[in-house]
Structure 1
Amino acid sequence: MTTAIVPDPEAIRPELAQPGSALPVPPQGLRASRNAGFTSLRVGVTALWLSVIVLLPLAAIAWQAAGGGWQAFWLAVTSHAAVQSFQVTLSISVVVTILDVVFGLATAWVLVRDNFIGKGLIDAVIDLPFALPTIVTSLVMLALYGKNSPVHIHLQHTPPGVGMALAFVTLPLVVRAVQPVLLEIDRDVEEAAASLGASGPKVFATIVLPSLGPSLFTGAGLAFSRCVAEFGSVVTIGGAVPGKTEVSSQWIRSLIENDDRTGAAAMSIVLLSISFAVLVLLRIVGGRAAKREEKAA
């Protein structure tokens, strides 16, 4: 009777040998060089794509704005119509941002803390402005608050009408910024504070609101930046009344229609600078908040 000889796996596959044996793997330096090569490739592709869709257009608009020289740039952004459009844009944007913070926080709180019929539907409707074309938003607002308003509220060609359109497209930014943070807040801390005699408003002010501060600030900054740059949602409901409802984006369109591309580019640079300053401020505040959380942990 012949006995079958089973080969030793370690003799066949050196990679299964005990530590200390020779392993058929690439040297450490080779692996590191391969990883560095792939990293460089990813960084290069990302930088190229960002250059094509972001940096080059920004450089082009900056070059066009500087085409007429500093004096032409200054005259374009300090003209009476330009200053009026800035005043209308910034004043309405500030009011809308404050309303977004208040009602966005309330909406996020209801969606996270309360259970009711239709909650999923409301949660889905919050994202509707992200998918809806902004010009459709303007038409919807005109149908609801125009001259033939079915609710008998006439806001056409008025600052409140512009504010309603801007609030419609910016409220979800605050809600979606606050909602995930509110979900992560430890309810046990709130219950402990309530058991020690703290009232509901005090628990909210001392425990919940500080935790939501960075997310509220982020949502407010994004909403404000969107308000400053918005165009489509205010086209029909606003009417571009100078000094009343004409926002800066509409004044830029008027400059383009009058073939003043240098002035339009100069106005665009100012709006871009405002939005960029807000985004930088958000990064600074977010970084400081993250450092405070790391220290507290």
Structure 2
Amino acid sequence: MADAQDEIAGATPEDTPSPPSWPGWPVATAICIRFYSRLQVPRLHGENDLHGLPDFRIVPRALPFAAVVIALPAALVLLGAALAGVSAALAAGLAVTVFALTTGALHEDGLADSADGLFGGHTPERRLEIMKDSRVGSYGAIALVLSLLLRVAALASILEAAGAWAAAVAVIAAAPWSRAEGLRLLATEPPARSVGTAAAVGQPTRSTAFFALTLSAALASAVTLASALPIAGLVGGLLLASLAARVIAGSSRRLIGGQTGDILGAAQQLAEIAIYLGFALALGLAGK
């Protein structure tokens, strides 16, 4: 404790980080869209470097709005394909493909790296080394295949049970909360590395993560209530998503000492699957 106080006392103004500033909702949303996807957003008034890493201490309050924008292409493709009469499996597969293209497979990459590292290493150092390796191993490949299959199957089940509009809404409802779960881990779990994307963007405040989760729940509830989807499915899905995020947070804390960008991506994938599963289960039970 004394050493820490000495460090603080000896810090210069240059060493002390400046307090975060809120850039406004349009700019914050644009920053999140660029960071979480490949979508092109023009420079907005008040923005400086479009290619630098964002300051994530408070900017992710706007993540739920950005997530809805990111999900729109996949939702529209799913809706259009289903209304055109293609099979539920093909429509769902096209939507998941568009999602991967829109995000640059950002979260899928994190899931694969996390599976390889957490299951493939025997020490925290070796697990982190594996996670930095760009090659995909057996555990990563299995995790990717299962993620894709589960998302396609769950969306196809929702489409068959509730129709095209409901399936498209499920895509939009899952997008904000699943990304906010990753944000919550970034805000509450210690970083496993002192370098890397998760460490470089800064740790969001807990209030920022709570705000993003609350706004995500509000947006998901609004679109669910406006569709044929059961609100019970959303509640069940959000609970499953939170449970999945807590499991991977506990595992990463125990196995590598905290979170990384890959762990955040894995949390998003598991949370998205969980929300689709919640809707599919509720619709299945309602149809009996």
| TM-score normalised by structure 2 residue count | 0.30
Kindly indicate which of the two structures has a greater share of residues assigned to helix.
Answer: 1
Structure with bigger gyration radius: 1
The one of the two structures with greater contact order (alpha-carbon pairs below 8 A, sep at least 6) is: 1
| TM-score normalised by structure 1 residue count | 0.29
